[in-house]
């Protein structure tokens, strides 16, 4: 997987020790060893069918995403207490592999944002009740306000604005694959047009589609920091206008959230942090938003009726 990611044609390979990793000691240590081997150009592998995997001459630049501050590393004790997981990930990589000062930017993570919104406004009633996840697209007003503000903030401060995750997993079915790539292309066209400097993909098979979109807009430039987006005027009310999102929680939405949460957590407990579910690559953020929505609907919707819901008092 590391070889495929480095040779995918992407400019950056994000080594994700957070949402896309089940943090077993084996995964953490073997992940660090993979990075060291990749940096020193000695990473290779031979598949059971005899195929050889070896990093090419122009691999992607590696950027490491450590675990969050709230997580401990129970397998490494300092003065008898678990170490801070983020410092373990960063420290190991910096000690063995560092080649540059830093890389900084902001990523528009939809599930993370929605999870935080529900958690922070849990007691504010139905005004903040979201419909099915599938209906909460980045085109909704409160999410567009968030991404517009993110781009303007990044451009003002000289940081890169990174678009959201393209989570589709390429399909062997030609029609299904074409539909998935068309959807990805539309989403990336929106991001590039809004001023984002790049995007994030879950599968190497999406790199060509995303690069074509951004290369077409950037035209050889490394970023869009010169755009400024002075047209953006976002207020706190705009960011919290969840009630302007059309749609309702449905029975299908409940079933989908239960299914994806159970399937992901089962895989996570087995050591897999990135899992393909129903044609999408899912990570911890998916399980968080799925279970958080179920809690929200249970507390603020007295009953689900077909395609709609009725609220309690």
Residues 112, 187, 194, 283: which is the catalytic one? 283
Alpha helices in 40-107 (DSSP H): 85-97
Print burial letters for 169-178: b (CB count within 10 Å at least 16), e (below 16): bbeeeeeebe
Write down the catalytic residue from 37, 65, 126, 227: 65
Q: Which residue has the tokens 């969840």?
A: 242
Within 8 A by CB and 6+ apart from 59, the residues are: 6, 7, 13, 38
For residue 148, indicate whether it is catalytic: no
Give one word for 225, left, alpha or beta, with left for phi > 0 and alpha for psi -120 to 50.
alpha
Tokens of 132: 């099915």
Catalytic residue flag (residue 72): no
Which residues are CB-contacts of 178 (< 8 A; sequence separation ≥ 6)? Answer: none
**304 Cβ partners below 8 Å, 6+ apart?**
249, 250, 251, 254, 297
**By C-alpha distance, which of 191, 189, 43 is closest to 106?**
191
Q: How far apart are CA 109 and CA 200, in angstroms?
A: 10
67: which residues sit within 8 A by CB, 6+ positions away?
Answer: 17, 18, 21, 23, 85, 86, 88, 89
For residue 215 the two structure tokens come to 């290369």
- Residues serving a catalytic function are 65, 283
């Amino acid at each position: 997987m590391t070889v495929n990611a480095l040779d995918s044609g992407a400019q950056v390979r994000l080594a994700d020790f957070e949402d896309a990793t089940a943090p077993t000691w084996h995964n953490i240590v073997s992940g660090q060893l993979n990075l060291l081997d990749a940096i020193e150009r000695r990473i290779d592998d031979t598949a059971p069918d005899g195929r050889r995997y070896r990093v090419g001459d122009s691999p992607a630049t590696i950027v490491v995403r450590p675990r969050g501050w709230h997580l401990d590393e129970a397998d490494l004790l300092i003065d008898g207490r678990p170490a801070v997981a983020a410092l373990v990930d960063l420290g190991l990589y910096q000690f063995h592999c560092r080649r540059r000062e830093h890389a900084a930017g902001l990523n528009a993570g939809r599930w993370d944002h929605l999870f935080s919104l529900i958690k922070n406004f849990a007691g504010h009633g139905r005004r903040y009740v979201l419909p099915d996840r599938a209906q909460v697209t980045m085109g909704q007003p409160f999410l567009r306000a968030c991404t517009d503000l993110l781009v303007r903030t990044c451009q003002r401060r000289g940081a890169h604005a990174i678009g959201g995750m393209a989570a589709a997993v390429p399909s062997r079915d030609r029609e299904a694959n074409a539909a998935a790539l068309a959807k990805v292309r539309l989403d990336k066209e929106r991001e590039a047009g809004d001023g984002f400097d790049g995007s994030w993909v879950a599968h190497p098979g999406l790199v060509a589609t995303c690069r074509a979109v951004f290369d077409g807009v950037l035209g050889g430039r490394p970023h869009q920091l010169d755009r400024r987006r002075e047209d953006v005027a976002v207020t706190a009310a705009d960011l919290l206008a969840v009630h302007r999102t059309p749609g309702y929680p449905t029975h299908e939405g409940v079933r989908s959230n239960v299914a994806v949460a159970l399937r992901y957590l089962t895989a996570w407990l087995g050591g897999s942090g990135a899992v393909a579910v129903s044609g999408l690559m899912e990570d911890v953020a998916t399980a968080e938003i799925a279970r958080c929505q179920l809690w929200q609907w249970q507390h603020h919707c007295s009953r689900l009726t077909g395609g709609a819901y009725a609220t309690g008092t």
